[in-house]
Structure 1
Amino acid sequence: MDKYKISRSKLNYNFKAEQLDFDTTEELSAIDEEIIGQNRAADSLDFGMRVDKNGYNIFMVGESGTGKSTYAKNMTEEKAAEMEQPKDILYVFNFSEPEEPRVMRVPAGMGNDLKNDMDKIIEELQEEIPRAFEGEEYEKERKEILNEYQPKSNKLMQEFESSAKERGFLLQNTSQGLVPVPIDEDGEPISREDFQEMDEDKKEEIRNESQKIQNEISQVMREIRSIKEKAQDELSALEKKIGISIVQPIICHLKNQYEDCEEIADYLEEVQDDIVDNIDRFRNENDNNQQNPFLAMQQNDDGSFFVRYQINIFVNNSKTDGAPVIYEKNPTYYNLFGKIEGKSQFGTITTNFTMIRSGSLHRANGGFLIVHAKDLLTNPFCWDTLKRALINQEITVENIGEQYRSVPIITLKPEAVELDLKIIMIGSPYIYYLLYNYDDEFSELFKIKADFDTEMTRNKENIAKFADFISSVIKRDQLKEFSSGAVAAMIDFSSRLTGDREKLSTKFNEIIEILYESDVWADSYGEEVVSASSVKKAIDEKEMRSNLLEEKIQEQIDRDHLLLDVSGQEVGQINGLSVYQAGNYSFGRPARITARSYLGKEGVINIEREAKMSGRIHSKGVMILTGYLGGKYAQKTPLSLTASIAFEQSYGGVDGDSATCAEVVALLSSLSGMPIRQDIAITGSMNQKGVIQPIGGVNEKIEGFFKVCQAKGLTGEQGVIIPQRNLDNLMLEEEVIAAVENKEFNLYSIEEIDQALEIMLGEEAEKVHSAVQEKLKEYAEFDSEDIAEDDQEKNEDENE
């Protein structure tokens, strides 16, 4: 069996401080990039940023803690610094369609200037226009117009009244308007009684004449109205002329300031025309609002007419260097796509274009938006709206409730903003493949996949970068400097995280946690420089905070509540090894596996599966075991066998195929009658040909059995069998390595199941197989006799 033992030299994985070319991290320079060992992802991200086409958005795939967010932010900021500064995005009043505010794009910083200038000129016009209409020149021209048209209407009315009087009628104003009233010879209105006493011919004559005069009244009133309209037109033209004389110079001066921006010039033309058309508002607005605020609100939802001349700086890029980089950490619908706010006024909610607020999608326009996929997908309506915006290359601001109201209401419909940005979404592999497989549009919108690995090769180059990374964190977060021994301990910890001595972990959040905690322990020890012992203390304490479940299970073993033997021999009973997961902490413990065989035809019964406690992988492992038995022992005769295999005292379910080797050995022990050593535990997967395959959690499994043996007393004979292909994964605790070196504990590696049989049963594999074959032959003979008896009974029944 010694030939299968793993030597101490093969267990050595510790990185030596002497291999580092520095004494403390103070000698190292901080690296510019915050991530190492991700060349594949870095190249993908760089390529995705250089492709300026629709659909080439980037999805960064990787486990949490691999530095995706930090790297995305750093890379985009570096790329954005080289890009052109985007324009400001403004919303302005739409003078032709007030409910549809329109978008203006102006050079960065010009939006603020325009807003301030517009506020100033409106304030100036509110003072200048009323003053102009209070002047003598306006009053003089107004009187001239009135003096020209008023006599005409007066004369026309006087002539008509004289004509009516000559015809025996007086014109009288009533609630129904101007009506003719018949008069007597003295010019007095005829009373109703007098009228009734007249003969019918006279009455009819008065009625006919009254009707003629009534018709003439309508004609005269139309002529008078026409005269007044002409007068009003001339007054309006006068007001417009005065308004233009005041507004035009101010607007022209402003247009000269923005002559390089055609969009602003066009807007100012519209402003000028609107001010002139609404000149009365500037003359009377304040008085009207003070006299009747409800009327002002009714006339305009904003409560103020002059809001229309304000500028809504929707996106302000005046302080943006290069292109914008927006990292949206809370991607709710409104945070992403903006909203239309409202205010309570006189018991109702009102809004206007100045209350349109931008979202991060708008602020990132012309640059980059970074968002986490999980956060985005868990917020209602966000994913579908984002896809629609990317497909249409535009985004409209609308409140989310508008499309789900049972009764439509009047609201603003802002013009859509054109989109030109690149989205970098960060998520786990699960989310990526979920979207890729079930969302048809996803692959068209996110064509670049940047895959982040959780490990990198443990070579000289990456070790140097790893040390530089530690130095960067120390300088950034003002920690104590680390000694070369402390850095070497961190390198070993990183490899242990990967479960591979040839790799380093890229889960930098876990690395940083140990750096922080090591700094605290070094401080409590009074160290000026963090030592390797402080790093190990931090690792041990972190483990201690999470290993309550492990201690509880060990306590059950110590008190014989969980039945385990670590000495002696038993037929059909073996110590397998399991890994328990408690959050981010995993540990190993042995599990008793038993096998019983007897006459029958049911084959191998997986008790865990029958009890619905077996996972799919474990069930597959038992089926592979059945395939191995058939291939090994049933080439010439049928396999007549019933056997049951169980994990004793297992109540939470079993999964994984790492117990396949243990199950085979236990079953062959039951069939051959040869006892199994209880002081040795085994782990390993196996294929149908008996070849041993590597498994996961090998370090935790070995350490778990070691702790049980240590608690019950080390004999020097105890040990663990592991697959040969797991040697590169061995990164055991110093205590275990020391026990192996002192021959208090043993480790074995195997490549075939026959080697496990030799170690566990203490016999040559061929002898074990012969014994098993004999037992199966015996079962087959019994089975044949039963078949012969059944046939004989059947024939006798037929003869009768």
Structure 2
Amino acid sequence: MKANRLDPQQLSWRCDPLQFEFQSTEELPELEGTIGQSRAMTAIEFGLGIKDSGFNLFLIGEPGSGRSSTIKKLLKARAGGESVPSDWCYLNNFEDATRPRCIPLPAGLARDLHRDVEELVARLAEEIPKVFESKEYEQQKNRISGDYQEKNRKLFQELEEQANEEGFLLQRSVSGMVLVPLRDGHPISQQDYEDLPDEEKAALDEKGTGLQERLNEVLRKGRDLEKELREATLSMEKEILLFAVGHLFEELEQKYQEQQEVLDHFQGCKKDILERIDEFRPAQGPQISLPGLKQGGQEPSFDRYRINLFIDNRDLQGAPVVYEANPTYFNLFGRIEHVIHMGGATTNFTMIKAGALHRANGGYLILDCREVLLNVFSYEALKRCIRNKEVKIEDMAEQFRLFATVSLKPHPVPLKCKIIMIGTPLFYYLLYRLDPDFRKYFKVKADFDFMMKNTWENVQQYALFIGAKCREEQLKHFDPSGVARVVEYSARLIEDKEKLSSRFIDIADLIREASFYAEQQGRERVSEEHVNLAVEAKIYRSNKVEERIQEAIEEGSLLVDTEGEVVGQVNGLSVYLLGDYAFGKPSRVTARTFLGKAGVVNIEREAKLSGPIHDKGLMILSGFLGDRYAQDKPLALAGSVCFEQSYGGVEGDSASSAELYALLSSLAALPLRQEIAVTGSVNQRGQIQPIGGVNEKIEGFYAVCKAKGLTGGQGVIIPVQNVKNLLLKEEVVDAVRENRFHVWAISTVDEGIEILTGVAAGTRQEDGCWPQGSVNQRVDQRLLEMAEAIRRFGKGSEKNGKEDS
């Protein structure tokens, strides 16, 4: 069998600048739509089109894949053609002030109403006090009071005349009106009364009782007259007051005659004004004034007649699109503000403030899933709003108070809003699994991919994106070579010649950095050299650790051989992930085999430095050895595999083929070429499987070989499936073209062991044996010898045991 040695053209992919029919991206039209997200766009169109309340959208994808920008741009265009939703106002509820009422109004009308009512309140505050200071009011009051006094005077005059005729005098005392008997026109004293004959006293008592009953009757009539006076005065005051302010309401009632709820509010205002007439009447007598204390009679409040302009949509040009970056409970669902006065918190319906859900009502609300989940109460309250189709403003602190307090309970606002949540796949699938309500209220999943096909159409779209970004941020425009290099960088991000990256946040950063270097050099356009400079500068800012490891290899502190042959030792390739930067470096992998039945021991696992995937890769090796070599004999093997000079955690199975080569080398006693590094995972049948980070691994080993000196025999063995992922630096490609470095692509372990040992792996013959001198024959023979040795050793132990007994 023969391994596939790759040609230089297989190691990279170049985007041809000649395919572009422009000299500068400045010539290109505006970018329409979204690049490479047809699946997500189809889902979004469906989710926005269906009107059912449960079909809200969840946009999933990795950050930078264009989720937010796409939905904002799409909604901006879509919402412009939709109708503007109603305005909303909160009004005082005159029947229950703790439950303010909310009313809808045609868009733009609420602002006019608010302005008109503010003017009305100012006029009321000006006109009502004048009513009680007017001459007409005083005249009417005096007339009513005079009528009362005249009636009252006549009552007592008639009583007094009757008393005089009966020989009594009507006197006023501290305790009220009293009847005193007369003799010779003068009141008699108590002693004179006692001295009177019994018959005369009885006559006086009889007359006095009759007069007292008459007096009590007159007093009752007097109280009735006083009540009539108050009622007449109040009726007069209401009539005058209504006459004074009625015309103010009539003007507004005429203007808003088609808004029945507004008319009802005006009727409630007039009724309330008449019921509060005592507060408007000037206070009588001296008033005690305390600092900070407002006297109700002196300064009546007119706030209860105001309008709370809750939602004003006059300036909208279509349906609202609201993005709430900080979705706290109050930012989402509104709040009731309070004013601290003399140590106490007070509020009223004018302090009710709208939240993002109120502003988005009738349109669209965009939320970040992570931010919603981080804010207490927000997620559960959002589900309640969707379920009940209304937004209720509540004081969440009430749930934690020991005692109930009087607070406002505003009437809820009906909700008709499409909610778009943006998050990563992790959040979506966790919520879908753990929250049964989630799947009911977010039924539309728009999945943004992090990659797209590398087609001519998508490459042209990339050019449009670059042009749009340059115009948007006033950057230097790109020439065709610069655009082509950006497209190549995009493919390198995905590590696939057939795909391009959809993480436009990274592409946008590269565009900005390349424009910066072009401007530094005084160029009119950004070309390939400026993009290369931006890429190299970004690497230089992040590769300090890589350089330190490279220095350690060059100094000999980290043992890596790039020449010679060693038994049971091979160069594996590892990828180091440091945030936004990844690089590859070789690691020495060694294996030792000896007599025993322990199998293959993973030293990393025993030291608790190995991850589960790496452990699995080592266990697969035992399956491979048993399947290939232990069909006719027991697998009597003990061995150890180790990553030398590895002091951190090891994870992944990409080194399992290298570990297998080291084991086979140790068993066959065949040395492995140290000038060749290996990567790839292996299954139990000996097939090589693809891995990640292939470009970084090859470039990392090339850098080590270059530092130690290229011999012409050095290279890397990779899985054949990873050929499509090769997008190597031009320097590595040139070295391969000049036969100073090599890349082999293999599909089986046998192909790899042949390259590393220079000995044929061998194919099992019809008789079940391996060709003489092949790698497999050597391994099989060694395993047979080890099994025989253990059998003999076991028999010897049994014999010694019997003799001892």
Q: Mean Cα displacement is larger for which, 213-222 or 366-375?
A: 213-222
Cα distance in 2, alignment partners of residues 680 and 145 from structure 1: 119
Q: Mean Cα displacement is larger for which, 333-342 or 575-584?
A: 333-342
Check whether the contact 2:181–2:204 (CA below 8 A) recurs between aligned residues: no
Letter of the structure 1 residue corresponding to residue 7 of structure 2:
S
Cα distance in 1, alignment partners of residues 195 and 430 from structure 2: 103
Alignment correspondent of 2:476:
480
Check whether the contact 2:678–2:716 (CA below 8 A) recurs between aligned residues: yes
Q: 1:210 to 1:355 in 2, by over 3 A?
A: farther
Alignment correspondent of 2:767:
none
Letter of the structure 1 residue corresponding to residue 315 of structure 2:
K
Residue by residue over 1:573-629, the C-alpha shift from the partner in whole angstroms, topping out at 9 and shown as x without a partner, is 111111001111000011111111111111111111111111111111111111111
Alignment correspondent of 2:230:
232
Q: 1:154 to 1:52 in 2, by over 3 A?
A: same
Q: How many residues align?
A: 791
Alignment correspondent of 1:79:
78
Alignment correspondent of 1:89:
88
Alignment correspondent of 1:695:
691
Letter of the structure 2 residue corresponding to residue 763 of structure 1:
V
Residue by residue over 1:616-670, the C-alpha shift from the partner in whole angstroms, topping out at 9 and shown as x without a partner, is 1111111111111111111122211111111111121111110110011111111
Check whether the contact 1:659–1:685 (CA below 8 A) recurs between aligned residues: yes
Letter of the structure 1 residue corresponding to residue 777 of structure 2:
S
Letter of the structure 1 residue corresponding to residue 784 of structure 2:
K
SS at match of 1:765: coil
Residue by residue over 1:212-243, the C-alpha shift from the partner in whole angstroms, topping out at 9 and shown as x without a partner, is 99998876654432221122112222222223
Q: 1:741 to 1:251 in 2, by over 3 A?
A: same
Letter of the structure 2 residue corresponding to residue 582 of structure 1:
L
Cα distance in 1, alignment partners of residues 119 and 152 from structure 2: 44
| Identical counterparts, % of pairs | 43
Match of 2:783 among 748, 773, 776: 776
Cα distance in 2, alignment partners of residues 496 and 325 from structure 1: 36
Q: Mean Cα displacement is larger for which, 644-653 or 787-796?
A: 787-796
Cα distance in 1, alignment partners of residues 303 and 621 from structure 2: 82
Alignment correspondent of 2:311:
315
Alignment correspondent of 1:406:
402
Cα distance in 1, alignment partners of residues 386 and 53 from structure 2: 8
Cα distance in 2, alignment partners of residues 346 and 127 from structure 1: 28
Match of 2:442 among 436, 439, 446: 446
Letter of the structure 2 residue corresponding to residue 768 of structure 1:
V
Residue by residue over 1:186-227, the C-alpha shift from the partner in whole angstroms, topping out at 9 and shown as x without a partner, is 648769xx9999999999999999999999887665443222
Q: 1:4 to 1:135 in 2, by over 3 A?
A: closer
SS at match of 1:105: strand
SS at match of 2:526: coil
Cα distance in 1, alignment partners of residues 632 and 215 from structure 2: 129
Q: 1:361 to 1:173 in 2, by over 3 A?
A: farther
Cα distance in 1, alignment partners of residues 195 and 645 from structure 2: 128
1:786 positional shift:
3.9
Alignment correspondent of 2:523:
527
1:9 positional shift:
2.2
Cα distance in 1, alignment partners of residues 787 and 250 from structure 2: 110
Letter of the structure 1 residue corresponding to residue 566 of structure 2:
E
Letter of the structure 2 residue corresponding to residue 772 of structure 1:
V
Match of 2:609 among 613, 617, 636: 613
Cα distance in 2, alignment partners of residues 391 and 155 from structure 1: 73
Alignment correspondent of 2:769:
none
Within 5 Å, which residues of 2 pair with 1:535-550?
A: 535-550=531-546
Check whether the contact 1:126–1:283 (CA below 8 A) recurs between aligned residues: no
Letter of the structure 1 residue corresponding to residue 267 of structure 2:
E
Alignment correspondent of 1:243:
241
Letter of the structure 1 residue corresponding to residue 729 of structure 2:
E
1:143 positional shift:
3.2
Within 5 Å, which residues of 2 pair with 1:370-769?
A: 370-766=366-762, 767-769=774-776
* 1:150 aligned onto 2:149: yes
SS at match of 1:265: helix
Q: 1:240 to 1:5 in 2, by over 3 A?
A: same
SS at match of 1:545: helix
Within 5 Å, which residues of 2 pair with 1:245-264?
A: 245-264=243-262
Alignment correspondent of 1:63:
62
Letter of the structure 2 residue corresponding to residue 697 of structure 1:
G
Q: Mean Cα displacement is larger for which, 678-687 or 118-127?
A: 118-127
Letter of the structure 1 residue corresponding to residue 430 of structure 2:
L
Letter of the structure 1 residue corresponding to residue 88 of structure 2:
I
Alignment correspondent of 2:13:
13
Alignment correspondent of 2:358:
362
Alignment correspondent of 1:272:
270
Q: 1:221 to 1:374 in 2, by over 3 A?
A: farther
Cα distance in 1, alignment partners of residues 72 and 795 from structure 2: 80
Alignment correspondent of 1:39:
38
Check whether the contact 1:172–1:178 (CA below 8 A) recurs between aligned residues: yes
Check whether the contact 2:179–2:212 (CA below 8 A) recurs between aligned residues: no
Q: 1:149 to 1:295 in 2, by over 3 A?
A: farther
Residue by residue over 1:667-694, the C-alpha shift from the partner in whole angstroms, topping out at 9 and shown as x without a partner, is 1111111111111000001111111111
Q: 1:218 to 1:785 in 2, by over 3 A?
A: farther
Cα distance in 2, alignment partners of residues 454 and 198 from structure 1: 123
SS at match of 1:260: coil
Check whether the contact 2:575–2:585 (CA below 8 A) recurs between aligned residues: yes
Cα distance in 1, alignment partners of residues 603 and 90 from structure 2: 71
Q: 1:297 to 1:492 in 2, by over 3 A?
A: farther
Check whether the contact 2:44–2:446 (CA below 8 A) recurs between aligned residues: yes
Alignment RMSD: 3.2
Cα distance in 1, alignment partners of residues 681 and 760 from structure 2: 21
Letter of the structure 2 residue corresponding to residue 230 of structure 1:
E
Q: Which runs of 5+ in 2 are unaligned?
A: 763-773
Check whether the contact 1:132–1:242 (CA below 8 A) recurs between aligned residues: yes
Q: 1:122 to 1:298 in 2, by over 3 A?
A: closer
Cα distance in 2, alignment partners of residues 701 and 392 from structure 1: 56
Within 5 Å, which residues of 2 pair with 1:112-191?
A: 112-156=111-155, 174=174, 178=176, 187=187
Cα distance in 2, alignment partners of residues 321 and 651 from structure 1: 62
Alignment correspondent of 1:785:
792
Letter of the structure 1 residue corresponding to residue 256 of structure 2:
Y
Q: Mean Cα displacement is larger for which, 775-784 or 639-648?
A: 775-784
Letter of the structure 2 residue corresponding to residue 26 of structure 1:
E
1:21 positional shift:
2.0
Residue by residue over 1:727-747, the C-alpha shift from the partner in whole angstroms, topping out at 9 and shown as x without a partner, is 000000011001111111110
1:132 positional shift:
4.3
Q: 1:353 to 1:776 in 2, by over 3 A?
A: same
Q: TM-score, structure 2 length as denominator?
A: 0.92
Cα distance in 2, alignment partners of residues 583 and 208 from structure 1: 115
Q: 1:665 to 1:190 in 2, by over 3 A?
A: farther
Q: 1:684 to 1:137 in 2, by over 3 A?
A: same
Check whether the contact 1:183–1:190 (CA below 8 A) recurs between aligned residues: no
Letter of the structure 1 residue corresponding to residue 80 of structure 2:
A
